[in-house]
Amino acid sequence: MNGTMKTGALSESIPAAPIAAAERSVFDTVHSWLVTVDHKKLGVMYIIYGLSFLVVAGVQASLIRIQLAAPNLHIVSPQTFNQLFTMHGTTMVFLAGMPLIFGFANYLVPLMIGARDLAFPRLNAFGFWLSAFGGLLLYFSYIGGEGLAGAGSAPDVGWFAYAPLTAKAFSKGHSTDYWTLSIFVSGFGSIATACNIITTILCMRCRGMTLAKMPLLAWLNLILCGMVLVAVTPLTAAQIMLLLDRFAGSHFFDTQAGGSAVLWMHFFWLFGHPEVYILVIPAFAFASEIIPVFSRKAIFGYPVMVGATCAIAFVSLSVWAHHMFTVGMTSTGNTFFVVSTMMVGVPTGIKIFNWLGTMWGGKLRFATPMLFSTAFLFQFLVAGLTGIMLACAPWDWQLNDSYFLIAHFHYVLVGAIVFMIFAAIYYWFPNATGRLLSERLGKWHFWLFLIGFHVTFDTMHIPGFLGMPRRIYTYEAGRGWALLNLICTIGAAFQVAAILIFVINVILSLRKGKPAGNDPWDAWTLEWTTSSPPPEYNFAEIPTVKSRRPLWDMKHPTDPDWKYE
Amino acid sequence: MNATTATISLEPNAGWTPSKGVVGMTCLIIAESAIFVVFVVAYLFYVGKDLSGPTPRQVLELPIVNSICLLSSSATIMFAVRSLRNGDTKKFSLWWLVTVLLGAYFLFGTGREWHRLIYNKGFTIQTNLFGTTFYSLVGLHASHVVVGLVALLVVMGFAVIGAVRKEHAEHAHVLGLYWHFVDTVWIVVFTVVYVIGR
- Summarize pLDDT for B91-131 with one digit per residue, the tens: 999 999 999 999 999 999 999 999 999 999 999 999 999 99
Q: Tell whether A191 is within 8 A of chain B (Cβ).
A: yes
pLDDT value at residue A281: 97
pLDDT value at residue A169: 87
pLDDT value at residue A146: 62
Q: How far is CA B189 from CA A173, A229, A376, B141, B148, in A?
A: 35, 21, 47, 8, 17
Q: Tell whether A264 is within 8 A of chain B (Cβ).
A: no
- Summarize pLDDT for A89-128 with one digit per residue, the tens: 999 999 999 999 999 999 999 999 999 999 999 999 999 9
Task: Provide the CB-side half-sphere exposure for A145 (13 A, CA).
Answer: 22
pLDDT value at residue A101: 95
**Per-chain mean pLDDT for chain B:** 91
Strand partners, A70: none
* Of residues A10, A202, A553, nearest to B18 (C-beta): A202
* Inter-chain CB proximity A544 and B32 less than 8 Å: no
Residue B38: name the closest of B195, B164, B190, B188 by CA: B188
Total of domains in chain B: 1
Q: Which residue has the higher pLDDT, B18 or B42?
A: B42
E-only strand ranges, A404-561: none
Q: Domain limits at B146?
A: 20-196
3-state secondary structure A493-517: HHHHHHHHHHHHHHHHHHHHCCECC
Query: DSSP per residue over A124-169, as a string?
Result: HHHHHHHHHHHHHHHHHHHHSTTTTTTTTT---S-TT--TTTTSTT
Question: Is B43 among the domain residues?
Answer: yes
3-state secondary structure A444-456: HHHHHHHHHHHHH
Question: Is B151 among the domain residues?
Answer: yes
* Of residues A210, A234, A237, nearest to B14 (C-beta): A210
Inter-chain Cβ pairs, chain A and chain B, closer than 8 A: 129
So what's the ipTM on this one?
0.91
Q: Which residues of B touch A260 (CB under 8 A)?
A: 45-46
Cα separation, A420 vs A430, in Å, equals 16
pLDDT value at residue A15: 53
Cα separation, A13 vs A176, in Å, equals 56
Amino acid at A90: T
pLDDT value at residue B4: 42
How far does the CA of residue B47 sit from the closest CA of chain A (Å)? 11
Question: Is B2 among the domain residues?
Answer: no
3-class secondary structure, A395: helix
pLDDT value at residue A116: 94
Residue by residue, pLDDT tens for chain A (565 residues) are 343 343 444 444 455 555 555 567 889 989 999 999 999 999 999 999 999 999 999 999 999 999 999 999 999 999 999 999 999 999 999 999 999 999 999 999 999 999 999 999 999 999 999 999 999 999 998 887 664 445 568 899 999 999 999 998 888 888 899 999 999 999 999 999 999 999 999 999 999 999 999 999 999 999 999 999 999 999 999 999 999 999 999 999 999 999 999 999 999 999 999 999 999 999 999 999 999 999 999 999 999 999 999 999 999 999 999 999 999 899 999 999 999 999 999 999 999 999 999 999 999 999 999 999 999 999 999 999 999 999 999 999 999 999 999 999 999 999 999 999 999 999 999 999 999 999 999 999 999 999 999 999 999 999 999 999 999 999 999 999 999 999 999 999 999 999 999 999 999 999 999 999 999 999 999 999 999 999 999 999 999 999 999 999 999 999 998 888 7
3-class secondary structure, A539: coil
Tell me how many degrees the CA angle A159-B27-A303 measures, rounded to the nearest 5. 90
* Of residues B23, B28, B51, nearest to A203 (C-beta): B23
Cα separation, A46 vs A283, in Å, equals 16
Q: How far is CA A542 from CA A2, A122, A208, in A?
A: 16, 22, 11
Judge contact between A161 and A116, C-beta under 8 A.
no
Question: Is B121 among the domain residues?
Answer: yes
- Summarize pLDDT for A329-368 with one digit per residue, the tens: 999 999 999 999 999 999 999 999 999 999 999 999 999 9
pLDDT value at residue A145: 64
pLDDT value at residue B88: 94
How far does the CA of residue B101 sit from the closest CA of chain A (Å)? 29
* Of residues A207, A259, A267, nearest to B10 (C-beta): A207
* Inter-chain CB proximity B8 and A258 less than 8 Å: no
Question: Is A15 among the domain residues?
Answer: no
Q: Tell whether A262 is within 8 A of chain B (Cβ).
A: no
Q: Which residue does chain B place closest to A238, by CA atoms?
A: B38
Domain of B95, CATH number, reads 1.20.120.80
pLDDT value at residue B16: 58
Q: Please, which residues have CB within 8 angstroms of residue A232's CB and are 6 or more apart in sequence?
A: A187, A190, A191, A194, A271, A275, A278, B31
- CA-based max dimension of chain A: 75
Domain of A227, CATH number, reads 1.20.210.10
Q: Please, which residues have CB within 8 angstroms of residue A171's CB and are 6 or more apart in sequence?
A: A157, A165
Judge contact between A314 and A230, C-beta under 8 A.
no
Q: Please, which residues have CB within 8 angstroms of residue B20's CB and are 6 or more apart in sequence?
A: A119, A120, A199, A203, A204
3-class secondary structure, A544: strand
Question: Is A28 among the domain residues?
Answer: no
* Of residues A209, A252, A270, nearest to B132 (C-beta): A252
What are B's interface residues with A at a Cβ cutoff of 8 A?
1-5, 7-8, 10-14, 17-20, 23-24, 27-28, 30-32, 34-35, 37-39, 42, 45-46, 49-51, 125-126, 128-129, 131-133, 135-136, 140
Q: Domain limits at A353?
A: 42-563
Query: DSSP per residue over A95-132, as a string?
Result: IIIHHHHHHHHHHHHHHHTT-SS-S-HHHHHHHHHHHH
pLDDT value at residue A9: 44
* Inter-chain CB proximity B27 and A249 less than 8 Å: no
E-only strand ranges, A232-298: none
Query: Is residue A228 left, alpha or beta, with left meaning phi > 0 and alpha meaning psi from -120 to 50?
Result: alpha
Query: Is residue A514 left, alpha or beta, with left meaning phi > 0 and alpha meaning psi from -120 to 50?
Result: beta
pLDDT value at residue A564: 84
Burial of B193 by CB count in 10 Å (0-12 exposed, 13-18 middle, 19+ buried)? Answer: buried
* Inter-chain CB proximity B13 and A208 less than 8 Å: yes
Question: Is A10 among the domain residues?
Answer: no
Q: Which residues of B touch A6 (CB under 8 A)?
A: none
pLDDT value at residue A17: 52
Question: Is B102 among the domain residues?
Answer: yes
- Summarize pLDDT for B160-181 with one digit per residue, the tens: 999 999 999 999 999 999 999 9
pLDDT value at residue A25: 84
Question: Is B127 among the domain residues?
Answer: yes
Cα separation, B53 vs B127, in Å, equals 8
Q: Which residue does chain A place closest to B133, by CA atoms?
A: A252
Reported confidence tier of residue B53, pLDDT bands at 50, 70, 90: confident
Judge contact between B49 and B129, C-beta under 8 A.
yes
Cα separation, A522 vs A545, in Å, equals 18
Cα separation, B7 vs A556, in Å, equals 13
Cα separation, A398 vs B125, in Å, equals 41
Question: Is A550 among the domain residues?
Answer: yes
Q: How far is CA B9 from CA A52, A123, A544, B12, in A?
A: 46, 35, 9, 9
Question: Is A2 among the domain residues?
Answer: no
pLDDT value at residue A144: 74
Q: How far is CA B12 from CA A208, A538, B9, in A?
A: 7, 21, 9
Cα separation, A493 vs A511, in Å, equals 28
Determine the distance from the C-alpha atom of residue A142 to the mean position of all C-alpha atoms in its chain, rounded to a whole number. Answer: 25
Q: How many helices (H) and strands (E) does chain A have?
A: 17, 0
- Which H or E element spans position A240? helix A216-247
pLDDT value at residue A152: 64
Q: Tell whether A6 is within 8 A of chain B (Cβ).
A: no
pLDDT value at residue A4: 39
pLDDT value at residue A14: 53
- Summarize pLDDT for B27-50 with one digit per residue, the tens: 999 999 999 999 999 999 999 898
Q: Tell whether A249 is within 8 A of chain B (Cβ).
A: yes
